[in-house]
Amino acid sequence: MEKILDRFLRYVSVDTQSNEESESQPSTEKQLVLLKMLRDELLALGVEATLDEYGYVMGSIPSNAGDGIPAVGFIAHVDTAPDASGKDVKPQIVENYDGSDIALKGVPGLFLKPAEFPELLHFKGQTLITTDGTTLLGADDKAGVAEIMNAVQYIMEHPEFKHGPIKIGFTPDEEIGRGVVKFDVKRFGAEYAYTMDGGEIGELEFENFNAASAKIHIQGCNVHPGYAKGKMKNAILIGQEFNAMLPVMARPEYTEGYEGFFHLISFKGTVEEADFAYIIRDHNRSKFEYRKEMIQKVADFINSKYGEGTVTLVLKDQYYNMREQVEPHYHIIEKAVKAMEAEGIKAKIQPIRGGTDGANLSFKGLPCPNIFAGGLNFHGKMEFIPLESLEAASRVILGIIRLFAE
């Protein structure tokens, strides 16, 4: 078998950054490079596999343990976040980590420090894979891809391993919220599935944010500043006023656990006009709806103060909390917990302060909780993953498959 480390390093060497501004699916052609590789690797292992026009790789392994076993799927996304470059990733391998600062050698003076990231100390004595400081690593979610492929290779090379029907899915564009928009759940053929897209070892999640985006355009009125009295409407200042009317303590930097937020993610403008955008998040559906009403009321107030048409607000729901879809099938959570325990891993069941493809899949009729992929500090140059977590996640996949077959 190819070692999982070599497989992971091979996958992160492919630039698969998605692009929110693109209207195509996949949003970038370069994602197809890895997707085609994965399809071809599945075929080479003897797995029936396809790559469709939307960039979805689907693989299927028939049962070798008789009929009546539910088909279980495992899904991971290939794209990396637009937040940081995923081109020319140069991973560093730190063996037998001793708890000290790790120099990220691509940027002189840059270190991954336990003083800033104390979770590093959870992994003393292990082998860490880090960035060199110039890019992200791509463990979100090429770790999940490698873990699934490693499990598939084991299954195909060990016919004595008993299993029911297994479905494999690799998707594009998860990082820009479009990962499973056109995913055909019926064609995929699983009754239950798991995304391998969580963080630190042990994470198990079946609750996520309800999510919406808010895009705001402010139309100001620019007049020569020497003659502006009673005439000028400064779109930049109106935008600042808009933001100041939202609760300060409902910003991401002041929230945790089940607390929701308004997050201002972009702002650009001139006196004449300005555009800015928020993401809105809350685990509680009624609080989520209230947050959307609040931002609409702010827009209405600004329009009443400065004139109708000053603010144009476009609100769009992105995904919902999967809990209501997964909880009626709680046995799939119990199987994941049991598979982790068999590997000596304590399951950490917690809400996701974000979202996964599993949320939208669950609302498409495929209950799909999220399991750790093992990485930490996703989306930036401080990202790292312990090799031991990669290996453990792949064994947990096999354990879940074994439990379904039993």
User: Please, which contacts does 349-352 make with residues 24 or more away whose CB atoms are closer than 8 Å?
Assistant: 349/204, 349/205, 349/206, 350/203, 350/204, 350/205, 350/207, 351/205, 351/207, 351/208, 351/257, 351/258, 351/283, 352/198, 352/205, 352/207, 352/208, 352/209
CA separation for the pair 298, 11 (Å, rounded): 45
Q: Is 79 a catalytic residue?
A: yes
φ and ψ at 192, to 5 degrees? -140, 155
Cα-to-chain-centroid distance, residue 204 = 14
Find the catalytic residue in 41, 132, 147, 174.
174
φ and ψ at 355, to 5 degrees? -145, 165
Q: Are residues 368 and 108 in contact, defined by beta-carbon separation less than 8 angstroms? A: no
CA separation for the pair 367, 144 (Å, rounded): 18
Find the catalytic residue in 15, 41, 79, 207.
79
CA separation for the pair 2, 132 (Å, rounded): 24
Q: Please provide the size of the chain in residues.
A: 406
- Which strand (E) or helix (H) includes residue 385? strand 384-386
How many other CB atoms are found less than 10 A from the CB of residue 30? 19
Q: Is 52 a catalytic residue?
A: no
Residue 79, CA distances (Å) to 176, 200, 283 in order: 9, 19, 25
Q: Helix 31-44 crosses helix 139-157 at what angle (to 10 degrees)?
A: 10
For β-strands 311-319 and 210-219, DSSP reports them as: antiparallel
Helix (H, G, I), strand (E, B) or coil at 70: coil
Q: Are residues 142 and 390 in contact, defined by beta-carbon separation less than 8 angstroms? A: no
**Which residues are known catalytic residues?**
79, 174
